[in-house]
Chains A and B, each alone.
Chain A
Amino acid sequence: MMNKTRKKIGVALFEIIMLILALVWLYPYIWLTLSSVKPQNEIYANLWPSQFTLDNFKFIFDTTNQMERDFFRSLMNSVIISVTVTFSVVLTSSFVGYAIAKFKFLGGTILKNFTIFQMLFPGFMFTIPTFVVIKSLGMLNTLASLIVPSLFGAWGVFMFTQSFRNIPNDYIEAARMEGAGEIRIIFSIMLPLTRSTASIVGLFTFIGIWDNFLTPLILIRDYDKMPLSVLLASFNHEYANQLGPVLAGSVIQTLPMVILFLVFRKYFLQGISISFK
């Protein structure tokens, strides 16, 4: 009897400790969000603001374009880049994945091995080659330079190949009998059946591009073409005393990722456990 109650207390204590730990982990987020809505002089004073204000956000959107750092514009840049790339990666990866998984053709295995081979190299080895290629194409300092190199990705192809392989060939045969073309098969059979893979590939691609810092730092020089990550960094370097707006900018930079994560959390967890295997 004694033993049982003691065990129960132990379990409860453990749950509470973990809950507190989770709150500690969330603290940077909490601090960031609260700091962005309080008057600047209170940021280091108390956690809970004496009054809520949107001044910092107003500053970010209204005043920064007079400082040659237009946050709204660069937010739009980020959206354009990330959405285009995500859309394209899901499309191209599913097409190539379909070809590799369901067709036998000359060089098919080589192509497949090559995609896997490409994933082995650490990303930092590609920074300089990318720069040299972009420069010789005359695309430096353009939004296109951030979009074009990422339109196609080995990891997406790999993920789609793996999950398309599990779809029985009978479905495809049946669709062909009904007179559906290959493109139609991809859109109305393969993609709907692998919705979770598509979401994972899309989500990770979006986050990766949105958060990319080094590539735009190298390729873009004009403030009006910068994505949010680089603009925010340069703003932080030069206007470090504008603490409130800097933090408000950080909130804007973080928010889309957090929202997407919360919406797609189920797929996110699946994606992590798939990539272990």
Chain B
Amino acid sequence: MFVKWNYLTPPKFIGFDNFTRVITDETFWLVLGNTFNFMLYFIPISLLGSILLGMAFNRLKYFKTFVVLSFLIANISSGVSYSIVFQKLLSESGPLNRFLYQVFGFTIPWFTRPQLAILAIALMVSWKFLGYYGLIFLAGLGAIPKSLYEAAKLDGAGKFKQFTKITLPLLNPSMVMVLVMQITMSFGIFTEPYMITGGGPMKRTYMFMMYIYDNAFRKFTSTGPGYAAVISIFAAAISFGCIFLVRKLIEKEVNFV
């Protein structure tokens, strides 16, 4: 942490130099911005999606097992191979763009525009995790007593009011949990951008893990493990900060009485 070291010569103690270097490192700030940019797409999409999915799971009667399993099977897909699959599916001549071109006459250049590339990765990761998060919300919904809804119905509350006044507040613990997982996931994401975009276009999908990897291990970009370790500590601290913020702002004590 406090050393300058390139694995070959013995480490040299340099005190806090690595820390001050992070603050003035432009790439570090770019990567931090990219991570927030990614979260800006990923968190709302997958949070909203999984709440709706959890409610849908809850209401399904006949095909419940099949539907739940189809969504979960996405969750256990292997990181490398699903990255490859989505890279092909979304590519310029891939099935999705061909379909769009035939039906609507345009294509979406997913991996050449920065914002689209980030959105594409956010969508892929959502594909993978929506079922898992949905199941968390399903468990949360199961804990809400039915009597509350009956009482609300007697008081003349409509479906929408029931949702905003009963369901959402009582799902608070599940919501905090999903948010924490999403934040941790966003800071640790590696396989998908590494495999698909390699950090591009214009370094806008360059994420923390890739930056750490490049700094620590890649031949030409390596600045030694000391600096990379400091970056990983900064990343961990910021993700803990975000989690702390979420808990402070959103978490509430829930009583089911």
Contact = CB atoms under 8 A, between A and B. Distances in A.
A218 B82 CA distance: 21
A276 B175 CA distance: 12
A79 interface: no
Contacts of B74: 25-26, 28-29
Interface in B212-257: 212-213, 216-217, 225, 228-229, 232-233, 235-236, 239
A131 B225 contact: yes
A268 B139 contact: no
Contacts of B127: 25, 28
Given A22-B70, A125-B236, A261-B73, A253 B81 contact: yes
Contacts, number: 161
Nearest to B217: A218
A231 B127 CA distance: 24
Interface in A190-212: 207, 210-211
B70 A23 contact: yes
Contacts of A51: none
Interface residue tally of chain A, by bracket? 35 or more
Contact of B56 (A18, A32, A128): A18
B104 interface: no
B209 interface: yes
Interface stretch (A59-67, A84-92, A100-108, A243-251): A243-251
* Secondary structure of the A contact surface, majority rule: helix
Given A23-B70, A218-B213, 14 more contacts: A25-B127, A26-B74, A32-B85, A123-B188, A124-B187, A131-B225, A135-B7, A214-B213, A217-B213, A232-B84, A257-B78, A262-B69, A265-B72, A268-B72
Interface of B: 7, 56, 59-63, 66-67, 69-74, 76-82, 84-86, 88-89, 93-95, 98, 127, 131-132, 135-136, 139, 174, 177, 184, 187-188, 190-191, 195, 208-209, 212-213, 216-217, 225, 228-229, 232-233, 235-236, 239
